[in-house]
Structure 1
Amino acid sequence: MSNRRNLVTGAGLAVGSMFVSQFAAAVSVPLLLSEGAISSTALRLGCAALFCIVWARPNFLSFGARQWRSAVALGFVVAVMAICFYVAATRIPIGAAMTIEFLGPLAVAALSLKGLRRVALPLLAVGGVVAMTYGHDGLLFDSVGVMLALAAACGWGGYIVLMRHVGGLFSEQEGLCVALIVSAILAWPVGMALEPDSHITSHILYVAGLALLWPFTSFAFEMMALRRMPLGPFSILMSLEPAFGALLGYVILDQKLSPRQIAGIIAVMIASIGAVVQSRDSTDDARDARNPMGHREEAC
């Protein structure tokens, strides 16, 4: 019963993380448009870093050179991912931006597959993105927004790879804390240079509230969910995030999508779920090959 309760609680936390993340993205769009997406994102990352320092209380003096290098690399990727996504969100619907960005983690998952599956699932996802972004008259959305969403996808893929590395060097909280500080430091001068007329600091309380939602609360919910449920079911559940983006974009910002575009989002979600399931199967097969008596030993 306790395992079932943990699974249900973990699933609730995962859903909460997706909702909080996409809700924060939707309600931030007016501020991004008025004060600049890069400046807004930089201040948001800075506020999130402060929250993380209070929460994790990292001992910066104890970190070695290798830890700093990995955390700085992660911070660079976080800055690229966040800036590109939120600038894209000012140009194309959030559901579309989120779906395109999801190609990043999907690509990382597909790399663990073999044979036809390694090609078929990414092709399904790409087909979904094409169905969502192209129509009879060509590209349906702003081309710069689509390219920025693709850059955010690369950032998300890099984040997954680097976060695994950082997690092996020190606690995820400390590594993420340093990464958020670095990302804010990197993003701030870019925002000042490209958006010199921004008055984002006059909205500090609003931005702090957004930072409390994403990334702070969203990441915290994810970590608590992973303590209560296996990685496989968690990853499958998180594949629903593009749907949350489309739904909240419609409810909050009135961003309507056609049936064809919705079908494209569903195709990306199916490809993501398939990649997670197939990668788990591949891992199980490899473990069984190394230990043919594994199931019998577990039974004993």
Structure 2
Amino acid sequence: MQSPASSRPLVGVALVVGSCLSLPFGAAVAAQLFPVLGPWGVTSLRVAIAALVLYVAVRPRPRRWNRQQWTAAVLFGVSLAAMNGCFYAAIERIPLGPAVAIEFLGPLVLAAVLTRRMADAVWVGVALAGMALLGIDGMIGSEPLDPVGLAFILVAAAFWIMYIRMSARVGRLIPGHSGLSVGLLVAAVLLLPVGVPAAVTVVAAPDLLLLAVITAVLSSVIPYTFELAALRRLPQRVFGVLLSLEPAFATLAGWLILGQDATILRMLAVALVIAASVGTTLGVRREKRDEGPFTAPIPLPE
């Protein structure tokens, strides 16, 4: 029978897969709100609803935190607000699959920097090849990439690196999900200036409010809870490469919900990123078997 310690990496992998499934479908639902609320309005509502749900569920007690814990939670909130706002601004202008693929350059760079094994570097290269194919498809396909959308997604990629780093730090410094709850509250406050008009609009339209709630659950509550738990079980380099599954699921969500084309290049890219994720997962299992007890995520600089 598998011991609890030996099952931790596999649980972490399952949590990342669950997050990768939830996020793009939430983004596809959110895209349907853009014509009415705009990307920043949708971002604000999504984060505010998620913050409210988690606050009620978790009941954090930040008054007992020290300065280090508060700093981690606030920086986590900053990364959430900027990453999500820029991502939604991007997918208003470019297709969902290529947008997520380009944004994945953030965790891909982080994985490349943190890797210590040649096998990990190879799988990073495979994932990068998949990202490149999606980028090429976006430039030469039926939906060329808008330069403003491209700029937004590159900024989102940079903040995705910050999100991974701060998520790992919050998970290490603050027990449970209190850090995530307060981080979302910080993000909601930062986005409040662009969220007030959107809130006024949805109050008068219950159908829009329902879509906003679905977006918050699929794009914030589920994935951030899963990812925080995964980062307590997986090294950041492994977590970063496993996120390469997200462009594959984003392409699927764009095709199923938004009617965006799934071209041959996109399908080939999907196959490459899945191969990278499977290879990394198998590497985690071998590392666990060869090296004994699984280690915590790589410590972050103070």
TM-score range, shorter chain: 0.7 to 0.9
2:297 corresponds to which residue? none
Shift of 1:223: 5.5
Deviation per residue, 1:113-143 (Å, 9 max, x gap): 3698759828635633442332289x92111
Asked if structure 1 preserves the Cα contact closer than 8 Å seen for 2:42 and 2:198, the reply is no
The verdict on how the C-alpha distance between 1:162 and 1:234 changes in structure 2, with shifts beyond 3 A counting, is closer
For residue 106 of structure 1, give the secondary structure of its aligned residue in structure 2.
helix
1:189 corresponds to which residue? 193
Matched, 1:215 2:220: yes
1:52 corresponds to which residue? 54
Cα distance in 2 between the residues matched to 1:68 and 1:225: 22
Shift of 1:199: 2.3
Shift of 1:10: 6.9
Matched, 1:144 2:124: no
Equivalence map 1:12-31=2 (5 Å): 14-31=16-33
1:179 corresponds to which residue? 183
Equivalence map 1:198-209=2 (5 Å): 199-202=201-204, 203-209=208-214
The verdict on how the C-alpha distance between 1:44 and 1:201 changes in structure 2, with shifts beyond 3 A counting, is farther
2:27 partner amino acid: A
Cα distance in 2 between the residues matched to 1:110 and 1:225: 19
1:19 partner amino acid: L
Cα distance in 1 between the residues matched to 2:268 and 2:65: 47
Asked if structure 1 preserves the Cα contact closer than 8 Å seen for 2:72 and 2:166, the reply is yes
1:163 to 161, 167, 174: 167
1:62 corresponds to which residue? 64
Cα distance in 1 between the residues matched to 2:131 and 2:213: 36
Deviation per residue, 1:192-246 (Å, 9 max, x gap): 6xx789824443343123212221123334556778x766987665432211110
2:105 corresponds to which residue? 103
Indicate the RMSD between aligned Cα atoms, in angstroms.
3.9
| TM-score, normalised relative to structure 2 | 0.76
1:113 to 94, 115, 133: 115
Q: Where does structure 1 lack aligned partners over 5 or more consecutive residues?
A: 289-300
Asked if structure 2 preserves the Cα contact closer than 8 Å seen for 1:39 and 1:188, the reply is no
Cα distance in 1 between the residues matched to 2:279 and 2:151: 25
2:76 partner amino acid: L
For residue 94 of structure 2, give the secondary structure of its aligned residue in structure 1.
coil
The verdict on how the C-alpha distance between 1:136 and 1:75 changes in structure 2, with shifts beyond 3 A counting, is closer
2:213 partner amino acid: A
Asked if structure 2 preserves the Cα contact closer than 8 Å seen for 1:91 and 1:142, the reply is yes
Cα distance in 1 between the residues matched to 2:117 and 2:227: 31
Asked if structure 2 preserves the Cα contact closer than 8 Å seen for 1:128 and 1:267, the reply is no
Cα distance in 1 between the residues matched to 2:15 and 2:278: 19
1:97 partner amino acid: A
Please say which of residues 263-272 and 236-245 is displaced more in the overlay.
263-272
Shift of 1:51: 0.9
The sequence identity of aligned pairs, in percent, is: 34
Please say which of residues 233-242 and 27-36 is displaced more in the overlay.
233-242
Deviation per residue, 1:148-180 (Å, 9 max, x gap): 122211111111111122222212511111110
Cα distance in 1 between the residues matched to 2:94 and 2:228: 30
Please say which of residues 6-15 and 47-56 is displaced more in the overlay.
6-15
2:244 corresponds to which residue? 239
The verdict on how the C-alpha distance between 1:275 and 1:33 changes in structure 2, with shifts beyond 3 A counting, is farther
Cα distance in 1 between the residues matched to 2:163 and 2:176: 12
Asked if structure 2 preserves the Cα contact closer than 8 Å seen for 1:67 and 1:170, the reply is yes
Cα distance in 1 between the residues matched to 2:147 and 2:281: 30
Equivalence map 1:71-86=2 (5 Å): 71-86=73-88
For residue 262 of structure 2, give the secondary structure of its aligned residue in structure 1.
coil
2:158 corresponds to which residue? 154
Q: Where does structure 2 lack aligned partners over 5 or more consecutive residues?
A: 293-302
Equivalence map 1:258-297=2 (5 Å): 258-268=263-273, 270=275
The verdict on how the C-alpha distance between 1:278 and 1:145 changes in structure 2, with shifts beyond 3 A counting, is farther
Cα distance in 2 between the residues matched to 1:65 and 1:230: 26
